[in-house]
Chains A and B, each alone.
With several copies, the nearest count.
Chain A
Amino acid sequence: MELKVLSKNEVATGVWEMTLGGDFSYETVQPGQFIHVQVGDGITHVLRRPISIADVSVSAGNLTILFRMAGRGTRWLSQARIGDNLSVMGPLGRGFPMTQAKTALLVGGGIGIPPLYLLARRLAEQGKAVTTLLGWASAEDRFWLPAFERLGHVEISTEDGSLGMRGTAVDALAVLENLPDTIYACGPRPMLAALKRWALRHGKRGWFSMEERMACGVGACGGCVCRTEGGMETVCSDGPVFALDEVML
């Protein structure tokens, strides 16, 4: 389907926030689901780009994405103009499950942070206590920090120590006063691996959102698999969210 670019802002150097409107199944969106966006004319780029849904407004009929200009495809996307139509598939994949847990810990690193926003909002709306650990390379890379702060307690870490504590989001685990019931995370693989070890050591359950290069986005090509205890599963349709004790890192 076609969605129209309603707004576009560079929220940090090379990181864009874009709101898209038009016919879309906004009411079914789960946090952690993604859209698969066509970039270019089908020759320069034959593959779409998967981007998480960072926020959605069912009443206004729009959704928001946050993406980093990582290469040619996201550069193309960053050059879309307000009013342009984008070809979008979605919502795709299986998102973060909502559990009975009362307290939730969200851990996000860099461009893994976007899907956690919609999750934090839904959890907060359900009255859960949300603690969020956010990690960036440096202070000037941060985005949407006030938005997260409105929804619960936030700990920040930066690799160069320019904001919050020095280190990754996982290093901030050390400052937690209470252990949460459930963990939700998205970010670089080493961060998730460290978090998994920590969670298993503390007997905590939780969910990780995984990244893999994608072609079809619907489970048809077998391109985007990830190894789980149950065998190879597709990130696009069995995931991107997997139970942390199931996914092999």
Chain B
Amino acid sequence: MRAANLAVQCAGVPMRNPVMPASGCFGWGREYSRYYPLRTLGSVVAKAVTKEARPGNDTPRIAETPGGMLNAIGLANPGLERVLADELPWLAGQDVPVWVNVAGSDEEEYCMVAAAIDASGMADVLELNVSCPNVKRGGLAFGTEPSILKGLVTAVRRVTDLPLFVKLTPNVTDAGVLAEAAVAAGADGLTAMNTLRGMAIDLDRRCPVLANGQGGLSGPAVKPVALAMVYQLARTVDVPIIGCGGIQSGTDAVEFIMAGADAVQVGTANFTDPYAMPRIIAEMQTWMERSGAASIAEIKGAVH
């Protein structure tokens, strides 16, 4: 048994370990701080923030599926102003890097939110959620068309010097092309992946379970899809990659690291077990020590 050091650097941001929550699955951090101190984590990732408050979709917003779940929260958030006033100040005092997930309906909104969060000094990393439909370009998601994505990342890059991650959607023919567009436009890293498009049906009521009809699939069911995406991106671009999708255990996390990820995000598993992330960190430590891996760098990309 060799001691293992889990510390990593992601786009220049030092983290105690490579484990952080997935956006939207950890509120503003406060909700889980009664379970463990947030500085247990490598970083904290906040919910998607938009310029104005958004109520989100009607309920039901949640459906369970085999090995996973669907959500259609609809970017519900209190809006930039209240996030800056009520949520980030607390989070910024927790001695852990803060990632803020930024969303919008057009380039201006993304830029405006990104610039304001940068200016507040309360975020360490910005993560662009590009699964939102682009209202000015026929509702096509920002993350599905390389030229639109390039335009968006170029615009946001101009207004912030914070490390900029782009969170890619798996609902595309070739994520590699989108990744290249994001990196060419100045993204410092990529998060793979957001949810898969899915649906559940309520047989008794003869309608979709979710009020919104469709939703985003997450949880262990999607893990193989996310692993394949991380593996592909690691062969395509040369920036840090955050693996995300179905991670429930320390060995799941190590699999993503071996596929080429620098760090991982944990979403749905927090709902199954509020202590999921501290447990995952401990399990990674144990696995590494048993296997004689002294650092994350030693196993990163091992399967390539």
Contacts and interface: CB of A to CB of B under 8 A. Distances in A.
A140 B90 CA distance: 53
Interface in A5-31: none
Contact of B27 (A212, A219, A231): A219
Majority SS of interface residues in chain B?
loop
6 contacts: A43-B67, A44-B66, A46-B272, A218-B274, A222-B61, A232-B55
A226 B211 CA distance: 13
Contacts of B25: 216, 220-221
B66 A43 contact: yes
A219 B64 CA distance: 18
Given A44-B67, A221-B73, A232-B56, A87 B61 contact: no
A224 B32 contact: no
Given A38-B272, A46-B67, A226-B59, 4 more contacts: A44-B66, A46-B64, A220-B270, A222-B56
B66 A225 contact: no
Residue from A42, A218, A221 having most chain B Cβ neighbours under 10 A = A221
Give the bracket for the number of chain A residues in contact with chain B: 20 to 34
Nearest to A87: B273
Interface string B269-283: 111111000000000
Contact of B31 (A48, A216, A223): A216
B69 interface: yes
B21 to A, nearest CB: 9
A215 B76 contact: no
A202 B15 CA distance: 59
Contacts of A45: 64
Contacts of A224: 59, 61-62
Contact of A213 (B26, B31, B63, B274): B63
B270 A42 contact: no
B24 interface: yes
A239 B1 CA distance: 42
B220 A47 contact: no
B271 A221 contact: yes
Contacts of B26: 220
Contacts of B69: 46-47, 215
Contacts of B285: none
Interface bracket on B: 20 to 34
Nearest to A215: B271
A192 interface: no
Nearest to B218: A46
B248 interface: yes
Given A46-B64, A46-B67, A216 B270 contact: yes
Contact of A89 (B47, B63, B73, B274): B274
B71 A46 contact: no
Contact of A43 (B220, B273, B274): B220
B268 interface: yes
B31 A220 contact: yes
B220 to A, nearest CB: 5
Interface in A55-109: 73, 87, 89
A223 B273 contact: no
Contacts of A215: 62, 69, 71, 268, 271
A73 B248 CA distance: 18
Contacts of B71: 215, 221, 223
Contact of A223 (B73, B219, B269): B73
A193 to B, nearest CB: 15
A138 interface: no
Contacts of A222: 24, 27, 47, 56, 61, 73, 76
A216 B66 CA distance: 18
A214 interface: yes
B73 A213 contact: no
A42 B273 contact: yes
A103 to B, nearest CB: 34
Contacts of A237: 31
Contacts of B269: 42, 46
Contacts of B67: 43-44, 46
A47 B273 contact: no
B60 A213 contact: yes
B61 A218 contact: no
Contacts of B73: 221-223
B146 interface: no
Instruction: Point out which of A48, A89, A213, A217 has the most chain B C-beta atoms below 10 A from its C-beta.
Output: A213
B272 A42 contact: yes
B57 to A, nearest CB: 9
Interface in A208-249: 212-226, 231-232, 237
